[in-house]
């Protein structure tokens, strides 16, 4: 089948949906790869590298001509969407949660849209799970960003001039991003604590050498959904959690927040008052910034300073590691590709496969995803 890769047009988007490595694999599987010129520039992948492995580079129009499938990092803008061939399959991180208007726009344009965020969390789909591949990098990068903003060192250092204390880092939300943040902060020498509302996180946090701090009541024991995500917690739980966080956070130097509930605004875990209780020079990196942030003071794409505490709200942390983020995302797409073709490599999405069922927003001009009808 013909696969088109677009240059991402969204402000600040540095990633690309194919790499020379993924193109090589797709071509070996018999597919024809058309890439918009310059698509990989911001991820350190110039056109020449794609050409060297057999991709055809061209204008947007040439790239889209006859495309059966379009692989994208983010939802193309309306102007680009209007140029997609009718009936083609669009796969990308389409931010589908609750966005009925966007789903209708895909349907009206005759595009069969598949959202990577809706990849079911089953073992067979793990290699296609873009939320995991990108969150992992976001967790790493958040700690690196924190280390840049923080005016002190992370590890304890004993020198002839005296001893520097290790930084105290607190990671809120110990899912994919949080666990990587814990591992990274530990590697840098910080003393790490972490919290989550899912009991399964407790052992994972401990296995990384960090201390688990949480309100472990009856609600905590039942906080994980069948899909592996967290539930939105009750007001009562939130109050108990806030009390615990308030006393703990005042002693921390670096806080990385990652708490998310799929399709909901990020839970507010750090209030203005809690920030005011922190030491000057402390740093909060809020990975949940694109979903409104876990800290009341977070502003997307800004580093806010409040009473000497810096609160960083990078909204595209994976994009700050564009080459690796693109590589992992492109591999997610390579792993999904067999579910879009028949035995002869022709376009034929496996519409009845539970992975494709979970991801499909629109088909044949209709919105088909239950949550978006
Ligand atoms: P996520 O990005 O939706 O949320 C991040 C973390 O925030 C989660 O651990 C969540 O429990 C936590 N959180 C939510 N509300 C909170 C609150 N009020 N206070 C503190 N923490 C809060 O989650 P995720 O990182 O995508 O993954 C969640 C789980 O799913 C992980 O355990 C992961 O290992 C698992 N997973 C399974 C598969 C699979 O295929 N089986 C794939 C990926 C992830």
305: left (phi over 0), alpha (psi -120 to 50) or beta: beta
Instruction: Dump pLDDT digits (tens) for 212-222.
Output: 999 999 999 99
Report the predicted TM-score, pTM, of the whole model to 2 decimal places.
0.95
Q: How does pLDDT run across 102-138, given as a tens digit for each residue?
A: 999 999 999 999 999 999 999 999 999 999 999 999 9
Q: Is 253 a catalytic residue?
A: no
Catalytic, 50? Answer no
> How far, in Å, is the centroid of ligand 1 from the Cα of 258?
9
Does the Cβ of 134 fall within 6 Å of ligand 1?
no
112, 129, 253, 286: which one is catalytic?
Answer: 129
Is the CB of 340 inside a 6 Å radius of any atom of ligand 1? no
pLDDT in tens, 165-214: 999 999 999 999 999 999 999 999 999 999 999 999 999 999 999 999 99
Tell me what pLDDT residue 227 has.
Answer: 82
228 Cβ inside 6 Å of ligand 1: yes
Percent of the chain topping pLDDT 70: 100
203, with CB counted inside 10 A (0-12, 13-18, 19+), is exposed
Nearest to 165 by CA among 306, 303, 279: 279
Measured over the CA atoms of residue 195, residue 196, residue 197 and residue 198, the dihedral's sign is negative
Would the CB of 356 count as within 6 Å of ligand 1?
no
Nearest CA to ligand 1 atom 3: 260
Q: How far apart are CA 332 and CA 326, in angstroms?
A: 10
The residue nearest atom 25 of ligand 1, judged by CA position, is: 175
Q: Is 352 a catalytic residue?
A: no
CB 8 within 8 A of CB 39: yes
- Tell me whether residue 148 is one of the annotated catalytic residues: no
- Give yes or no for residue 258 CB within 6 A of ligand 1: yes
Which pLDDT tens digit goes with each residue over 24-47?
Answer: 999 999 999 999 999 999 999 999
Pocket of ligand 1, candidates 140, 171, 173: which has the most ligand atoms within 8 Å of its Cβ, to mutate? 173
3-state secondary structure of 348: coil
Q: What is the pLDDT of residue 133?
A: 98
Q: Whose CA is nearest to atom 40 of ligand 1?
A: 121
Q: What is the mean pLDDT of the chain?
A: 97
Choosing from 9, 10, 41, 229, the catalytic residue is 229
Reported in sequence order, the residue ranges of the chain that DSSP labels E, i.e. its strands, are 2-5, 32-36, 56-58, 69-74, 89-93, 112-115, 157-159, 162-164, 168-172, 191-195, 211-212, 254-257, 283-286, 303-306, 309-312, 362-363, 366-367
Write the pLDDT tens digit of every residue in 72-85. Answer: 999 999 999 999 99
**Residue 132: predicted pLDDT:** 97
User: What is the spatial distance between Cα 210 and Cα 207, in angstroms, rounded to a whole number?
Assistant: 7
Residue-level pLDDT at 228: 84
What is the per-residue pLDDT across 321-361, written as a single tens digit (0 to 9) for each? 999 999 999 999 999 999 999 999 999 999 999 999 999 99
Tell me whether residue 329 is one of the annotated catalytic residues. no
> How far, CA to CA in Å, does 118 sit from each of 10, 263, 324, 363?
21, 11, 22, 15
């Amino acid at each position: 089948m013909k696969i088109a890769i677009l240059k991402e047009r969204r402000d600040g988007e540095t990633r690309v949906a194919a790499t020379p490595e993924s193109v090589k694999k797709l071509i070996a599987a018999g597919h024809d790869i058309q890439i918009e010129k310059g698509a990989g520039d911001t991820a350190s992948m110039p056109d020449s590298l794609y050409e060297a492995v057999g991709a055809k580079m061209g204008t947007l129009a040439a790239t889209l001509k006859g495309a059966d499938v379009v692989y994208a990092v983010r939802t193309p803008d309306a102007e680009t969407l209007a140029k997609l061939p009718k009936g083609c399959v669009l796969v990308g991180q389409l931010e589908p949660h609750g966005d009925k208007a966007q789903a209708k726009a895909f349907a009206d344009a005759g595009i069969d849209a598949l959202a990577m965020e809706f990849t079911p969390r089953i073992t067979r789909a793990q290699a296609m799970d873009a939320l995991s591949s990108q969150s992992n990098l976001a967790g790493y990068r958040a700690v690196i960003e924190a280390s840049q903003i923080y005016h002190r060192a992370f590890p304890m250092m004993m020198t002839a001039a005296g001893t520097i204390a290790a930084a105290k880092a607190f990671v809120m939300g110990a899912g994919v991003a949080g666990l990587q943040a814990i591992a990274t902060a530990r590697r840098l020498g910080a003393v790490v604590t972490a919290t989550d509302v899912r009991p399964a996180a407790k052992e994972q946090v401990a296995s990384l050498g960090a201390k688990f701090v949480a309100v472990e009541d009856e609600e905590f024991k039942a906080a994980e959904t069948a899909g592996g995500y967290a539930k939105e917690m009750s007001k009562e739980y939130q109050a108990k959690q806030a009390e615990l966080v308030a006393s703990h956070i005042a002693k921390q130097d670096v806080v990385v927040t990652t708490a998310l509930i799929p399709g909901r605004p990020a839970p507010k875990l750090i209030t203005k008052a809690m920030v005011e209780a922190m030491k000057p020079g402390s740093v909060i990196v809020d990975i949940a910034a694109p979903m409104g942030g876990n800290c009341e003071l977070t502003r997307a794409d800004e580093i806010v300073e409040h009473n000497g505490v810096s609160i960083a709200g990078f909204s595209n942390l994976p994009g700050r590691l564009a080459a690796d983020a693109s590589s992992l995302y492109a591999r997610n797409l390579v792993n999904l590709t067999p579910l879009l073709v028949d035995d002869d490599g022709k376009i034929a999405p496996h519409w009845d496969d539970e992975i494709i069922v979970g991801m499909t927003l629109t088909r044949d001009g209709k919105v088909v995803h239950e949550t978006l009808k």
